[in-house]
């Protein structure tokens, strides 16, 4: 079964047109198709989960949700990024558990910028898969706009990585890893988006809800100059 069919992909007419690209930024999503994106089944397997979720293009936006069986999953761009700025606009139904994974490897080793829009909310927190939370960002939710599109910018550079997150123009996270906190994370990898599996209750950690992304773009940085 192809990755497209496995994830229940569907494409609708695009009406949310991407804004003009900023200098040096390259689109990762064309607003019409899922070209360049694929299921990250290795991540689900490493988490001992059955891969699932549904991803589709609707009104020019990338839309993800748990599948009919309540399974979550990961959609990613499989490229070897190192230092970069990632920009997108995101809109989350409440409650939902999502996130953006940076430098994601074939088994999911990465850095997660959490988008957990739940009773216990982690917006902008940093999580290292298979290790745990390394920065909780308790103030991040203050910059979140409910039921609206939110401008998200993430900058990752260096090794151990420094990760900064801006939400609607405000810096909410500035986290410098140590060798210990970054243990097990990849130095290079792709960009992955998550829909958490439905666990049978809307709280505390997941729900059958929807996440939407649009205007997804990236600017790779020179590792020496940061530009």
Q: What is the CATH number of the domain that holds 9?
A: 2.60.120.560
Residues 175-222: pLDDT tens digits? 999 999 999 899 999 999 999 877 666 555 555 689 999 999 999 998
pLDDT: which is higher, 225 or 3 = 225
What does the pLDDT read at residue 118?
Answer: 86
What percentage of the chain has pLDDT greater than the value 70?
86
**Pick from 19, 128, 86, 106: nearest CA to 221:** 86
Q: Is residue 227 part of a domain?
A: no
Average pLDDT over residues 67-90: 94
DSSP H helix total and E strand total for the chain: 2, 15
Whether residue 226 lies inside any domain: the answer is: no
Q: Report pLDDT for 203.
A: 55
Work out whether strand 211-220 and strand 61-65 pair parallel, antiparallel, or are unpaired: antiparallel
Instruction: List alpha helices for 26-172, DSSP H.
Output: 41-46
Structural domain containing residue 125: 3-220
Q: Are 86 and 154 in contact (CB under 8 A)?
A: yes
Distances 154 to 1, 45, 80, 151, 198 between C-alpha atoms, Å = 34, 27, 17, 10, 27
131 in a structural domain: yes
pLDDT score at 4: 43
Residue 103 has pLDDT above 70, yes or no: yes
Mean pLDDT of the chain: 87
pLDDT at 13: 36
B/e letters for 10-28, b = 16+ CB within 10 Å, e = fewer, are: eeeebebebeeeeeebeeb
In a domain, 207, yes or no: yes
**Any domain includes 107:** yes
Answer whether residue 90 shows pLDDT above 50.
yes
pLDDT at 3 exceeding the cut of 60? no
pTM of the complete model: 0.87
List Cβ<8 Å contacts ≥24 apart for 133-140.
134/175, 134/177, 134/181, 135/173, 135/175, 137/165, 137/172, 137/173, 139/172, 140/165, 140/167, 140/172, 140/173
For 121-158, write each residue's pLDDT tens digit: 999 999 999 999 999 999 999 999 999 999 999 999 99
Give the number of domains in the chain: 1
Domain assignment present for residue 225? The answer is no
């Amino acid at each position: 079964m192809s990755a497209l069919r496995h994830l229940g992909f569907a494409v609708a007419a695009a009406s949310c047109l991407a804004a003009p690209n900023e200098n040096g930024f390259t689109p990762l999503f064309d607003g019409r198709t899922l070209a360049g994106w694929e299921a990250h089944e290795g991540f689900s397997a490493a988490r001992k989960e059955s891969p699932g979720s549904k991803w589709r293009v609707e009104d020019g936006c990338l839309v993800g949700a748990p599948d009919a069986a309540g399974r979550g999953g990961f959609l990613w761009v499989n490229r070897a990024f190192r230092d970069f700025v990632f920009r997108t606009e995101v809109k989350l139904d409440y409650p939902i558990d999502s996130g953006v994974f940076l430098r994601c490897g074939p088994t999911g080793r990465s850095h997660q910028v959490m988008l957990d829009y739940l009773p216990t909310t982690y917006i902008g927190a940093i999580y290292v898969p298979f290790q745990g939370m390394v920065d909780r960002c308790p103030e991040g939710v203050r910059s979140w706009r409910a039921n609206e599109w939110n401008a998200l910018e993430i900058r990752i550079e260096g090794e151990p990585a420094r990760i900064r997150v801006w939400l609607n123009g405000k810096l909410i996270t500035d986290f410098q890893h140590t060798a210990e906190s970054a243990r097990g994370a990849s130095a290079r990898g792709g960009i992955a988006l998550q829909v958490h599996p439905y666990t049978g209750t809307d709280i505390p950690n997941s729900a059958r809800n929807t996440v939407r992304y649009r205007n997804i773009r990236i600017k790779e940085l020179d590792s020496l100059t940061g530009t």
